[in-house]
A and B are shown apart, each in its own frame.
Chain A
Amino acid sequence: MKTPSIGALALGIVPFVAMCFTVPLWDRVQPLVLGLPFNLFWLILWILLTPCCLWGAYRLQSTADRPASRDP
């Protein structure tokens, strides 16, 4: 069984920090961005950025797995 590497885990934590723990920093109405309240805009932005973080984690994971997969 392959445990995720530290780098992959760190990339996985990023969306949690951005969308969950930092809520007091971005939970406001102003400025309206693209017509949306700032908090709604921020969450939608991070819905788009979360796949980027996970893709990074996926790349780290597959490079880490490659040497291991040569073992019988």
Chain B
Amino acid sequence: MTPAATALTVIIAIVAIGTVVGFLAGSSQKMDLEQWTVGGRGFGTVLVFLLMAGEIYTTFAFLGVSGWAYSRGGPVLYVLAYLSLGYTASFFILPQLWELGRKHRLQTQPDFFNSRYGNRYLAGFVCVVGILAFIPYLQLQLDGVGIIVSVASFGHIGRVPAMAVAAALVVAFVFANGIRAVAWVSVVKDFLMIIAAVAIGVGIPLAHFGGIAPMFAALAHARPQQLTMPGATTNLGHSWYISTVLLTALGFYMWPHTFSAAFTARSADTLRRNAIVMPLYTLTLALVFFAGFATVLILPHLNNGDLALLTVVRRTFPAWFLGVIGGAGALTAMVPAAILILTAATLFAKNLYRPIFAPAMSDDGVARLARGMVVLLGATSLGLAIHCSSTLVSLLLTGYAMVTQCFPGVVLGLYWKRVTSPAVFIGMIVGVLTAVVLMSMRLDPLWGLNAGFVALCINFIVTLAATLATPARASAAAAELT
């Protein structure tokens, strides 16, 4: 067998095994978003640590972070900071949300806006923003699969057919109710990812430089500017770092699927304890940084940074191991893609379409509409993935620029009784429009600041000003915020 055939066979086998494990387990275990994000609570400490650390390895972390370490250098350090600070922020936000959620039986992010501000149009708008933010996130996952298959096949299979197959598989996965099975697919994938991360983070520097410290010593000697900000870029300096870390850390729990995790915890205290230990899981992400920086000296002339990690793996390890990493990577992309697509479709049907356009719609009608949305979202993301090329990190930052616009409405809603529904609504609209305009005009970064952060500041200012300009009308939920 040629190396390409070996690698592809292993990838297909891993995806097939993962899918079969999923379908088999699916019938016995109920799986929802929260279970997927919080993992199995019944497992032992070591197992839980491995699983949670494995979950840090998304397509973004694996290919995107190493890609930016390779192509941009220093600015990628924002990832290490924002994850830790996202959990820090959650310590002060999620327990409060949980209390409110228990009182009002909230399940989703739009539910919170509806209950706190008593405005279903605002809740519907939050839905739209969540779905818009999901699209680049989905595109990221499909891009990841395309990259994996094209590198593992040594270029024989193009990115476009690979992405089309991945999108079709994800939609099929969701239609076949395989989402229930995601827990067990995640277990398979998380273990493979931990093995892969250690192999690449330790193995690549060891094979080419004799260790991690000699690798950094060589890089500090040959290309010291790559290791600090702005790295290989001209405009991603310290102000960009600060604004991007704030945008992403504050937005970390504003995604529809992370937000709702607050409502299913056993107690507010559980959420606080989780926030304390979660930063430790991001430690293992340093391994991906090692691999990305090592590639700078090993393969200095790649034109697409997102290919860096797999190309260096192909150069360093035997073909079957490239297959193992590629297979784990493909599962890593497809599992969250299935969850994102299902969340977005359900939000659209239940929290947007039915309350505003068709109050009389039956539950069956909602389910049919959601299925239609699954196909539409899959096709949209595929179309974008084929036509707009962007680095994986930029895609996630685009999503954050959208989704963090919910932050003022959430935090002011929790901590300030005076804030009103029209003020939050106007602030969010202005924030989202600013983000869209700045990014479509390629004004990101603007004055050295992340465009999404500029939009967030404007959003905050407008919300505060509009609140102070309108008469206070405390909603029922606000009255209980004492």
Contact = CB atoms under 8 A, between A and B. Distances in A.
A50 B92 contact: no
Contact of A19 (B84, B217, B228, B415): B84
A28 to B, nearest CB: 6
A46 B279 CA distance: 9
A13 B227 CA distance: 27
B275 A54 contact: yes
A61 B275 CA distance: 14
Interface stretch (B112-120, B164-172, B238-246, B305-313): B238-246
Interface in B202-222: 211-214, 216-217, 220
Contacts of A35: 211-214, 216-217
Interface in B81-111: 81, 84-85, 87-89, 91-92, 96, 99-100
B228 A27 contact: yes
A15 B276 contact: no
B277 A9 contact: no
B2 interface: no
Contacts of B480: 1
Given A27-B228, A58-B273, A50 B74 contact: no
B213 A12 contact: no
A7 interface: no
B377 interface: no
Contacts of A48: 280, 283
Given A3-B415, A35-B216, A48-B283, A55 B85 contact: no
B376 interface: no
Interface in A21-65: 21, 23-24, 27-30, 32, 34-37, 39-40, 43-44, 46-48, 50-51, 53-55, 57-58, 61
Given A20-B242, A21-B242, A35-B213, A40 B81 contact: no
Nearest to B229: A27
B412 interface: no
Given A20-B246, A28-B228, A43-B77, A61 B272 contact: yes
Given A23-B241, A44-B283, A47-B279, A39 B228 contact: yes
B155 interface: no
B88 A54 contact: yes
Given A27-B74, A32-B216, A58 B99 contact: no
15 contacts: A3-B415, A12-B88, A16-B249, A20-B85, A20-B241, A23-B229, A29-B220, A35-B216, A39-B74, A44-B80, A47-B283, A53-B88, A54-B275, A57-B91, A58-B272
Given A19-B84, A20-B81, 12 more contacts: A15-B88, A16-B85, A19-B81, A20-B85, A20-B245, A20-B249, A23-B238, A39-B77, A39-B227, A40-B286, A47-B282, A58-B272
